[in-house]
A and B are shown apart, each in its own frame.
Chain A
Amino acid sequence: MIFDSYEAYRAANFTPKVCILGSGPAGTTIARKLGAAGIPVVVLEAGSREFSDESQDFYRGTTVGDFYFDLDITRLRFMGGSSNHWAGWCRVLDKQDFEPKAWVPDTGWPIRRTDIEPYLPEVRDILDLPAFRPDMPISDDIRWVQLIKSPAVRFAEKFGDELDKAKNIAVVLNTCVTELAGDGKRVTGARLWSNGQDAGSFSADYFIICTGGLENSRLLLWSNQRSNGGVVPNATALGRYWMEHPTFEGGNAILADYNAFEVDAVNEAFFSPTLAAMERLQIMNFGIRLIETPYPGVKSLIADLACTAPSMAEWMSYQLSQRLRCAAQLYVAWEQAPLASNQIELSKTDVDHAGAPRIELHWKKTELEHRTLLEGLRLFGTTLIEKNLGRVRIADWISNGQDYPTNDETAGHHHMGGTRMGTDISKSVVDANCKVHGMDNLYVGGSSVFCTSGQCNPTTTITALACRLGDHLSKVVTV
């Protein structure tokens, strides 16, 4: 059932066991799992069926530190969440992303990739994905990896009918949870905001927060402040260890044979380091995206190469004259080290229409990340030489240690961490089952539980974790 207002929902006299906040990929997936298990579940969704400026305005905030996107353009606040404009690039975090990196503090998850692998067939159905292919090492240092460009499932569009017909799922639109109340053991209720005003308190046996990788932290920080620590009793790590995938054009490659790698429909291929290479160089994971360079770009590369390696420049000119593809731009996205100082805080001066403080995001890239970018491109360049595949040119700003450009991709719109998973309560917020430490009935869904970011887009892993949490709750919740 889908209700367009809280009043309409109230009139239906539906009694849920579980209350999910947010109808993005995480919330929708968990609701479908619980619904299928016969558990009555309500999904409270702040937005409506369509985008509106009024709803989106709740997402405004500020960033302190490195340049980042405006917080109200890097996500969407209506039914289906940011799946309404995601690009659909899919890959599961690597096995090694779950394991601790001895050379980077605070890495490693309390679960392993094998814990989510059983859910991958389900994830493929949900996200309309073909089979995943294993990575292919092209040298001791570099893997040729698969990043599936999926049809970018819009969750509200794909599952809207199913949710509407489901008898034990109620999706309530235009209903925002402004804060949770708790007594340090249980969430006792949720404060609602609907139709531009306070709509009273809401209760259910279990609450699952799936409001996105920025908003999950904000809601918990605000709720905890209002209830004197009664919602997240161990809050040292709350809002902290926030991560993105910084993404920048890192240079170019000339390729002896562009067809050496099976490129996708838009002539792109992806490469990542092996664990051994990361360990040897003490760097983070990264993904190099190879994109065909447009004609003018090839010409300036030839000019650049002419005085350094003239015969190679000559070869390129010939390729170009034959209209053969021979050059690529290299975009690099990389894993950020989890840092407590990269964090979501509540603004002290700015509140939204419902009176909740807006986000102040503190985000800075570190020296380790610059090294990951530089050494990553060097690894790739060396591999291309050793395998007679081509040559790499690293962008000047990287070699010269200059500032990150502000006119580049910047990041992936991937909001990770803030309520990270772990066993150490001083460094994590949820346990291996995504349950908030110390709370009996509060869970978190989405990439805010990520301990590390890996290098790939998060939604495939978010969906797998949501399937796992749905299964877990199906066993825990009694009807």
Chain B
Amino acid sequence: MSFFIKKMSRRAIVQALIALPALSLFRKLPDADASHADPSRADPSHTGASRADPNEIVEVNGWILRRSDLA
């Protein structure tokens, strides 16, 4: 793992991480762990992406954006 991380630019890693939620495999995953911590999130249809604050400021590919700007 660390070998690959070293070989990849930071930008490529960030791009890969952004792409993850777009894969159906990840989208269908219920947020099981989080439901333990917060009962209001027990609804299995809740995904990480939909819960995030749309006004949160994020840095993606060097862009400083609001989360709601993202695809």
Residues on A lying within 8 angstroms of B by beta carbon are 251, 304-305, 307-312, 377-378, 381-382, 384-385, 391-396, 399-401
- Known contacts: A396-B11, A399-B10. The answer to whether A308 contacts B57 by CB under 8 A is no
Q: Kindly state the separation between the CA atoms of A392 and B10 in the bound complex, as whole angstroms.
A: 18
Interface-centre pick from B66, B69, B70 (highest chain A CB count, 10 A): B69
- Is the pair A309, B62 in contact by a Cβ cutoff of 8 Å? no
Q: Kindly state the separation between the CA atoms of A268 and B51 in the bound complex, as whole angstroms.
A: 40
- Is the pair B69, A312 in contact by a Cβ cutoff of 8 Å? yes
- Is the pair A391, B57 in contact by a Cβ cutoff of 8 Å? no
Chain B residues near A400: list those with CB within 8 A. 9-11
Q: Of all chain B residues, which has the CB nearest A388?
A: B66
Which of B57, B59, B71 is the one whose CB lies under 8 Å from A307? B71
- Is the pair B11, A394 in contact by a Cβ cutoff of 8 Å? no
Q: Kindly state the separation between the CA atoms of A164 and B26 in the bound complex, as whole angstroms.
A: 81
19 pairs from A and B in contact (CB 8 Å cutoff): A304-B61, A305-B63, A308-B18, A308-B61, A308-B65, A308-B69, A309-B65, A309-B69, A311-B69, A312-B65, A392-B63, A393-B61, A393-B63, A393-B64, A394-B59, A396-B62, A399-B11, A400-B10, A401-B10
Interface of A is mostly: helix
Chain B residues near A393: list those with CB within 8 A. 61-64
Near A by CB (< 8 A), chain B positions 3-28 give 9-11, 18
Chain A residues near B9: list those with CB within 8 A. 396, 400
Near A by CB (< 8 A), chain B positions 41-66 give 57, 59-66
Residues on B lying within 8 angstroms of A by beta carbon are 9-11, 18, 57, 59-66, 69-71
Chain A residues near B70: list those with CB within 8 A. 308-309
- Known contacts: A251-B62, A385-B65, A393-B63. The answer to whether A308 contacts B71 by CB under 8 A is yes
- Is the pair B60, A382 in contact by a Cβ cutoff of 8 Å? no
- Is the pair B71, A310 in contact by a Cβ cutoff of 8 Å? yes
- Known contacts: A310-B71, A396-B11, A399-B10. The answer to whether A385 contacts B18 by CB under 8 A is no
Q: Kindly state the separation between the CA atoms of A393 and B66 in the bound complex, as whole angstroms.
A: 13
- Known contacts: A309-B70, A309-B71, A312-B69. The answer to whether A382 contacts B57 by CB under 8 A is yes
- Known contacts: A309-B71, A310-B71, A385-B57. The answer to whether A391 contacts B65 by CB under 8 A is yes
Interface-centre pick from A309, A311, A385, A401 (highest chain B CB count, 10 A): A309
